[in-house]
Structure 1
Amino acid sequence: MEGQLPVMLINAKQARNMPGRKTDVNDATWLAQLAAHNLLIGSFIPPEPIRQLRDLTRNRSSLVHDRTKVYQRMEKFLESSGNKISAVVSSLTGVSARNMLDAPVDGHLDPQLLANMAQGRLRQKIPDLIDALEGRFTTRHEFMMRLFLKQADGLDVMIRELDEQIEDAMTPFCEAASSISTIQGLSDTSTEVVIAEIGVDMSVLPDAAHLAPWAGVCPGPNESAGRSQSSHTRGGNSYLKAALSTAALNATRQKNTFLAARFRRLYPCRGGSRALVAIEHTILAAIWRMLSYGEVYRELGPDYYQTRNQSMA
């Protein structure tokens, strides 16, 4: 029916009827009365191309989470054999770690042989690897590890296929993607998620202050008798929030950038969690302005606050 009749998505919490003798007919009558008096606020419904892109990115996120769970189960199962490879390598998804996991499945159990499969800087930890790879690897462990690796490989194939589909779906939005990807901390994957969740048309939102609570990167209002009470960050779009969190973490780890300087400035008085949410809010506000006015990201530099304070003195 979309395209033939005006469709409006309403938040049920904002349009609920008074409790009591409620029926479906009474609920429909109540909604009709609210609509007749223009008291209903429609939720954000992105256009069809954005919704198609959103389906792809959300399914990719689910598959990535599933793959992470597989490696976590694999790590727990390896510990039952006395294998502590995860205590030495940073990730089981790396090339060196994968070679050390494939070899025992093929019958190679010598810790010295497995440790010599390390590549790059991991070769500096060969003595630790030898100790970590000591264990009792039985036929049961071999069977289960083969299943885990097969499952992880299958998920890798599905994720790569989704990446190809997402790349094709992002073609109409490549200009917007190349623009906002200049923000420190935003990777290509995070950029794709941001566009899939908020779209590229910011005319549906009057300003960035309306986008922030929808994304869940600002505290909810909690004021009584003229006094503002403590309030936690409200729930928002979980997929967008996750992408912004990853981008904010990446931005704070960089040097000589405005976002990293802002995080270090807020951390002592607000704490790490609140400072990180502030960085997410800053990134989202920058994205809104860039998509609304076609602006480019301008790096303010790590000495922005120092220069501003001197000019105001």
Structure 2
Amino acid sequence: MLVNPSHLKGIRGRKIDPSDAALLARAGASGMVMGSFVPPRTVRELRDLTRRRTEVVRAAAAETQRLEKELEDTGFKLTSVLSNAVGVSGRAILEALVAGERDPERLADLTVRQARAKIPQLDEALDGDFTPHHAFMVRHYLDQIDHLNATVAMFDVRIAELLAAQERHLDLLDTIPRISRLAAEIVTAETGGDMAQFATAHHLASWTGVCPGQSESAGVNCSGRTRHGNTNLKRLLGVAAMAAVRNKDSYLAVFYRRIASRRGAKRALVAVMHKLAIAIWHVLHDQVPYRELGADYFTKRNPERAMRRMIKEANSLGLTLRFEPISAV
């Protein structure tokens, strides 16, 4: 039985190996502890694939950063003009540089679509000293990036084959703000897609590690830091939460601002992660798409509180407010 160590901290016993082993055996046999969630083999294999794919994607991003650093050594400021140095336009320029082209105007003319509006800036950004050594290194980094991207594509195919029977779950997860198809695959791999393992949404949030911790002694709360939880899912929720709060007209953004004003930005972000974990549980458990509550949810839920807040702000400015209902037409 795989058991969470925090469940055994309150059980008394001498902490030497033989007696501690006997204590753990008695605790497991008598039902004093619960077994942790151990997914079936198919889910564990899917986890291996998604986690390895994440590592390869990070490796490709690291190679791109090394390529950009090499370009800085040449005096080129390509990344200051193009957001993606290995995109279609950036790749065409780099391939031409490796092939021997050095004229900034001809290099800038290789851009396509929206990047062509930046040709004047590219003429200045591509003025540098690109030596044969730089060409060799850029060729090496481009080959590495291509190899890693091909590996990611191979993993995508394999993961899609294993998740073919869970298209419904992926479509439902895709309705949650900032949970893309790729993120939905990771959520399914980490949780198994079956919410029967988690009694409530708060059980899933606790397992993920996005709920407040509890460390109380003699009636005094010592710490409220979050537990470790599932680090892969926790990291994903953090990225999704940071992207979700940028939509100013959404429920999550308003919720974030309310918490941040009282508890700070970091705690507010964890609170949004907690909301996303709860949404994931309900979407998969109830088999319903995500429902956006709207930016005015809190105002409609408690209009008297919103009125008191506006009156307080007006009074601080030396003004007086009077509310009158809108007459029906």
Q: CA RMSD in A?
A: 2.3
Residue aligning to 1:94 = 87
1:119-173 per-position Cα deviation (integer Å, ceiling 9, x unaligned): 3333333232222222211111111111110010001111011111111111121
- What's 1:208 paired with? 201
Deviations 1:214-240 (A, max 9, x none): 212123213344343453333222211
Aligned-residue offset at 1:62: 0.7
2:302 match: secondary structure:
helix
Structure 2 counterpart of 1:244, one-letter code: L
Look up the match of 1:247. Answer: 240
Distance 1:28 1:229 in 2: 30
Report if the CA contact (8 A) 1:88-1:132 is conserved: yes
Counterpart amino acid of residue 52 in structure 2: N
Q: Quick one: structure 1 residues 237 and 92, their matched pair in 2 at CA, closer, same or farther if it must change by over 3 Å?
A: farther
* Map 1:6-155 → 2, pairs under 5 A: 8-11=1-4, 18-20=14-16, 22=17, 28-155=21-148
Match for residue 323 of structure 2? Answer: none
Indicate the SS of the match to 1:38. coil
Structure 1 length as normaliser, TM-score? Answer: 0.88
Contact 2:187-2:193 within 8 A present in 1 as well: no
Cα distance in 2 between the residues matched to 1:226 and 1:296: 41
For each residue in 1:56-108, what CA deviation from the matched residue of structure 2 results, as whole angstroms up to 9, or x when unmatched?
A: 11111010011011111111122122122122222223222222222211111
Tell which has more relative contact order, 1 or 2 (C-alpha 8 A, sep 6+). Answer: 1
Amino acid across the alignment from 1:179 = L
In 1, distance between residues paired with 2:246 and 2:117? 25
Shift in alpha-carbon separation, 1:14–1:224, aligned structure 2, 3 A: closer
Name which of structure 1's ranges 11-20 and 80-89 shifts more when overlaid on structure 2. Answer: 11-20
2:214 to 199, 221, 228: 221
- The answer to whether the aligner puts 1:157 opposite 2:150 as a matched pair is yes
SS in 1 for 2:36: coil
Q: How far, CA to CA, are the matches of 1:143 and 1:18 in structure 2?
A: 64
Contact 1:185 1:249 in 2 (8 A): no
Residues in 2 aligned to 1:185 and 1:243: alpha-carbon distance in whole angstroms? 10
Task: Give the direction of change, closer, same or farther, for the CA distance of 1:284–1:116 in structure 2 (3 Å limit).
Answer: same
In 1: Cα distance, 2:116 partner to 2:272 partner: 37
Distance 2:61 2:164 in 1: 29
Alignment partners' CA distance in 1, 2:122 and 2:211:
45
**Unmatched 5+ residue regions in structure 2?**
308-329
TM-score by length of 2: 0.84
Structure 2 equivalent of residue 265 of structure 1? 258
Are 1:103 and 1:114, in contact at CA under 8 Å, matched by a contact in 2? Answer: yes
Counterpart residue number, 1:5: none
Change (3 A) 1:120 1:226: farther
Q: Does the 8 Å contact 2:77/2:126 carry over to 1? A: yes
Name the amino acid aligned to 2:99.
Answer: D
* Higher-Rg member (1/2): 2
Matched residues, number: 303
- Matches of residues 176-187 of structure 1 in structure 2 within 5 Å? 176-187=169-180
Deviations 1:29-50 (A, max 9, x none): 4432222222332121112222
Distance, in Å, in 2 between the alignment partners of 1:310 and 1:251 is 25
